Each structure stands twice: as C-alpha cells, then as structure tokens.
Amino acid sequence: MLTSIADQLNDQLASLKAAHAANPMPSTAERIDRLKRLESALLAYEDRLVSAISDDFSYRAPGESRNFDVTGTIAAIRNTRRHVKKWSKPRPVPTALHLKPARAFIQPQPKGVVGVVSPWNFPIFLSIIPIAEAFGAGNRVMLKPSELTPRTSEVATEMLTKTFRSDEIQVVNGDASVGAAFVSLKFDHLIYTGSTSVGRKVAEAAARNLVPVTLELGGKCPLLIGEHADMKRAVERLVYSKYLNAGQICIAPDYVLVPRQKRNELVSAVRAKISEFYGDYATCPAYSAIINDGHVGRIERLIQGARDAGAEVIQSTSKSGTNARKISPTIVIEPPLDTALMKEEIFGPILPVLTYNSREEAQRIIAHNPDPLALYIFSNSSEETEYWVRHSKSGGVCVNETLFHVITDTLPFGGVGASGHGSYHGRAGFDEFSHLKSVFVQPKLNGMFLFNPPHGKFKHAVGRIFRKLV
C-alpha cells in the first residue's frame, strides 16, 4: 500500500516538474492570473469553507473563520499580486571598485515545485497563503492539507481543482502515512506548519533529498506585562488572543508574566474580560470548540496535572452548554515550571499566570523553554520595551499588541531554533520560494588581464593598489 502511495505521489510530482521544465519562468501576467483566480475561488467558496471548518471543529466561530481564514488570506493574496511585478525584476547590487566596469545583479528565479503541508487550526489561512506566495514566485504547488479537518479539505480540494489545471497545483489528501510519503518527495522546496515534534521528522525526511525546508512551528509564547504597562489594554489583548479559536493558535500567548504585586489585579481583570467577551462560553457563538476528542483529553490532562501540582485553577461555568468539545476558558495561577502545562505547548484555552520580581527573573522563566515563535510585551516605557526587544530571542515581537504581526505582510513571519526556521509572508515569502540567482556581467573592455600570470613587479604593484581599494 505504501509503495503504491509513494508511486502515485512521485507521478504527480513528476507531472508538475515536467510542466515547470516546459515553462520555467512564468510571466508576470501568468502569475497575476493565478493569484486572481485564487482570490475569486476563495470568495466564491467562502460560505462553504466557513461551514466546513465549523463542522470539523464541532463548532468554530464564523467570525474567526471569516476574519482570519478568508479576509486575512485575501489580503495576503492581494499584497502579492500588487507587488509581484516589482519583486520579479532583476535587483542591481553594487560592484566593488576593483571589479569595475563589471556589474552585478540578483535575478529571482522560480524554484520549481513547492510542497505545502498545512495544519488544521487555520486550515485555509495556513494553506492558501503559502500557495499564493509560491504562485507569485512562479512555482507549481503540491498541497497536503491536514487529515484532522476532512470536510474543509474536501471543499478546498474541490475549490483548487476546479480553479487550476493539474499542471499548476495538485492536492493530496490522506492520513499520516500519506503525509510521511509526501514529505519524502524530492520537492524543490517544502514548507511545513505544525508541531515541533513532527517538524523534526519533516526536516529529517527533507534532508535525505537535500530539499530546502521552511518550518513554521510553535512553542511557548510569553506575554510579558511590564512595570509600566497599561493593565486595561494588556488584559483586553491578552484575553482576545489567548481564547481566540479556543487557544488553538501557534502564536497565542502560552502564558503571562506579571509583576508579583500586580497578580491579583491581573487575574480579576482577566476574569471580568472573559465574562464580557464570552458570557456563557458553551453557548456563546463567538467561542470555538476543540478540534477533536483526543485534544480535549490532552488539554484536560494539562489542567489536572497543574491542579495536582498545587496550582489554583479558575474556570468559567456553563448553564446550558451541550458541546462536549467546548472547554471553559481557564486560568491557572502559578503552575510549577516542571509541570507538563509549563513544558508543552498548550494549544488550548488555558492561561497560566506567572509572577516575577525583576527582569532577570522573568528572563530565567522565559529561558526555561526553547526560543518561542512570538513574544508579546506590554509597556508604556520605551526603555523597558527596548530592553525586551534587545534582550529576548523569538521569531517575532509585538509591542502593546498580540498576533497581528502575522498579518503584517511587510514583516517576515517565521521562528527561530525550536520554533522553526525560514520565513515567509509578503516579500519574504516571494524570496523564500525563489532562487535568488547571482549574476555577474563583465563587459568586453575590462582590467581582468591584470590578474593573469606571470606576476611581475608591475602586477604586484597593481595588486597592492587593489588591496587598498577592496
């Protein structure tokens, strides 16, 4: 069975590579056409996609799906479409004085066929944006959507196969065994979004074929409330970003760090804001469910483990909820750092609250885990903000905000260390899926003969002059 899957996938990849070989440098018009078709398809299928996502989750807030999976994706497509002509042009670079009159430039060139492995938590946003940027760079695409969102994958497959020719994009559906075969293919580039543990396996499979890979992973993203923070503002953004999609976001704040003397103020404000945003969470149309029973069990074990370790657990109550996969917005006060809650990425609606007395103590807590995908800083002090930007290591930083760096298309999005490597979005995505070819052009009249042997006194003297010029 596995052999037949591998053979089938290799045949699909071979057909895309043949199409690329026949047209290795698609025109700007061709790229823009693909992007326009992609946007039109997304708009035409919006309602079906939103419904399918909700079905896969047992309930997904429609506003979340429309705002992020649809609107956020359309914004990225349009940004690439607006700039692809400029990004595709040769980029002149300076030539050193001793090499003149030669000139040099960088020519962006499509890599070929890009493999995209997308996750379940934002199944459209995290599959269509890489496709759009790969198209913008002139590539063909093979997509492997998550098997945990089968209804969404079914609708997305129909959307893409009806919109594009089979020599432009192919979609591969299947379970983990299909995914393993997929990431073992000899792509020209592979992008994977998901967990760090699976990311390691993807990197190993890609390395066997020397396939360049972009890994967008996760980790424990801290939200730090500084000594000079506006608490009201910090709490509003904290609650919004922590419980959006029921916490199932790789860049959600995984825990909050607050000055010890402000802990009670923070907890009280968070509880009030949860009530304001979600009320009876189980019936609230703005509050989403967990993707499946397995993840429900995992999240409940994290909560129980913290409770068993002596942490205080605060949960909302529901009067009439019937969806068993909606988990209460949860606050856990001072969980020990050696609990699973503080060692694993939570990916659920649990907010651990930790306290600190000094910046150095906060730094030690953050350093307890690998470098995160995002760090959030709340402070009205430019000195305090600058300190944390300079003295922290993370894929990205937001100051007095959360999440929204991910939809700022002028910023590269990516991790560092265990939270991933490589980056995309906007120009960074175009470059990630392009080979930036170095081109050195030498005119007929030049001084390169001065480097030819034999090397007598005159050429040694010229060499000393060159040394002063380099």
Q: Which residues form the catalytic set?
A: 216, 250
H helices present in 23-114, as ranges? 28-44, 46-57, 62-64, 73-88
Q: Are 352 and 340 in contact (CB under 8 A)?
A: no
Q: Are 187 and 13 in contact (CB under 8 A)?
A: yes
Strand partners, 351: 331
What is the DSSP annotation of 340-379?
HHHHS---SSEEEEEEESSHHHHHHHHTTSPPPSEEEEE-
Q: What is the amino acid identity at position 185? A: L
CB within 8 Å of 174: residues ≥ 6 apart:
5, 144, 147
Cα–chain-centroid distance for residue 335?
28
Q: Are 335 and 353 in contact (CB under 8 A)?
A: no
Rg of the chain in Å (alpha carbons) = 25
Strand order of the β-sheet with 113-117 is 169-171, 140-144, 113-117, 189-193, 213-216, 420-421
In which region does residue 465 sit, left (phi positive, over 0), alpha (psi from -120 to 50) or beta (all else)?
A: alpha
CB within 8 Å of 464: residues ≥ 6 apart:
none
- What's the CA gap between 20 and 24, in Å, rounded? 5
Environment class of 470 (CB within 10 Å of its CB; exposed 0-12, middle 13-18, buried 19+): exposed
Q: What is the amino acid identity at position 31? A: R
| Maximum Cα interatomic distance, the chain, rounded to a whole number of Å | 94
**For 359, how many CA atoms within 13 A lie in the half-sphere containing its CB?**
14
Task: Return the number of other C-beta atoms located less than 10 Å from residue 430's C-beta.
Answer: 23
User: Packing angle between helix 176-183 and helix 196-208, nearest 10 degrees?
Assistant: 40
